[in-house]
């Protein structure tokens, strides 16, 4: 049968949020629920929260979970904004055991990109589309004619001697008390490098900062179309649910 609904969990450096999703449309079918990411954000601390989010909705069925790092075949290979204990952890197996149901894990920005390319600002766009999520860090999802190039991690480009996300993530604006315009100057410099390297047809900006896109996106001009994420900060949940559903094909 065709999977009509799946459950998405979006893990971020500051919060873990979840909701059930209608797979055909990308619509959340219930108000999302959020729990603060534990500190330190270790596997042992986070797995019970994933289970709690599932239990909150009384969910049974396909589950997808995003993770802020490189994910290959469910195993974590980087952890810039969570505890380093995650590295080499089989997150698929960990969360599956915690939830008592099959769980599939994907990079967070890749998930957001999947949602935007399927339902949002990147739908039917040809060429290279880059989705950048501005939050605790900078996540990236790259698509070529709609096909994902996974785990690009463009937030860790070295720009002017700095790891890009240390200066241009949304958390940097909060940490340093920058105005939206001053922070946009840093994002501008970051995007100039991204454009020079990859020549995208479209850049989609998402993450928590996308909720106030009108305060900073108008300050950006890199010679490439820049669009706020149509799904805003729900893209990660939707993309996670899509991954969960794709792992359960028609049977």
Domains of the chain listed by start with CATH number = 5-110+235-246 (3.30.420.40), 123-229 (3.30.420.40)
Q: What pLDDT sits at residue 157? A: 97
CA 115 to chain centre: 10
* Backbone φ and ψ of 53, nearest 5°: -65, -40
- Whether residue 131 is predicted with pLDDT greater than 50 in this model: the reply is yes
233 vs 17, which has greater pLDDT?
A: 17
- From the DSSP assignment, how many helices (H) and strands (E) are in the chain? 7, 15
- Whether residue 215 is predicted with pLDDT greater than 50 in this model: the reply is yes
Q: Which two tokens stand for residue 120?
A: 């949002």
Q: What pLDDT sits at residue 166? A: 96
Q: In terms of pTM, does the model score above 0.85?
A: yes
Q: What pLDDT sits at residue 12? A: 86
Q: In this predicted structure, which of 41-45, 106-110, 243-247 has the lowest mean pLDDT?
A: 243-247
Q: What pLDDT sits at residue 1? A: 52
Q: Which two tokens stand for residue 222?
A: 């890199």
6 vs 208, which has greater pLDDT?
A: 6
pLDDT band at 208 (very low <50, low <70, confident <90, very high): confident
CA distance 223 to 207: 22
Q: What pLDDT sits at residue 248? A: 54
CA distance 197 to 199: 6
pLDDT band at 233 (very low <50, low <70, confident <90, very high): confident
Q: What pLDDT sits at residue 3? A: 86
Mean pLDDT score of the chain, rounded to an integer?
94
Provide the percentage of residues in the chain whose pLDDT is more than 90.
90
Q: What pLDDT sits at residue 250? A: 34
What are the pLDDT digits (tens) for 137-159? 999 999 999 999 999 999 999 99
CA distance 12 to 85: 16
Q: What pLDDT sits at residue 247? A: 72
């Amino acid at each position: 049968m065709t999977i009509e609904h799946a459950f998405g969990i979006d893990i971020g450096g500051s919060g873990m949020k979840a909701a059930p999703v209608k797979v055909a449309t990308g619509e959340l079918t219930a108000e999302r629920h959020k729990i603060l990411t534990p500190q330190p954000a270790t596997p042992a601390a986070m797995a019970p929260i994933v289970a709690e989010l599932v239990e909150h909705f009384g969910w049974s069925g396909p589950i997808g979970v995003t993770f802020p790092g490189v994910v290959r075949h469910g195993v974590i290979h980087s952890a810039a904004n969570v505890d380093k204990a995650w590295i080499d952890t089989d997150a698929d197996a960990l969360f599956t055991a915690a939830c008592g149901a099959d769980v599939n894990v994907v990079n967070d920005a890749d998930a957001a990109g999947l949602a935007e390319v399927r339902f949002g600002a990147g739908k039917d766009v040809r060429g290279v589309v880059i989705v950048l999520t501005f939050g605790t860090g900078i996540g990236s999802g790259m698509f070529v004619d709609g096909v994902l190039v996974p785990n690009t991690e463009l937030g860790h480009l070295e720009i002017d001697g700095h790891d890009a996300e240390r200066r241009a993530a949304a958390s940097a604006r909060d940490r340093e008390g920058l105005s939206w315009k001053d922070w946009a100057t840093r994002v501008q410099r970051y995007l100039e490098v991204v454009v020079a390297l990859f020549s995208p047809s479209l850049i989609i900006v998402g993450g928590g900062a996308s909720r106030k896109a009108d305060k900073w996106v108008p300050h950006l001009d890199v010679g490439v179309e820049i669009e706020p994420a149509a799904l805003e900060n729900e893209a990660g949940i939707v993309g996670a649910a899509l991954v969960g559903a794709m792992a359960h094909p028609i049977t």
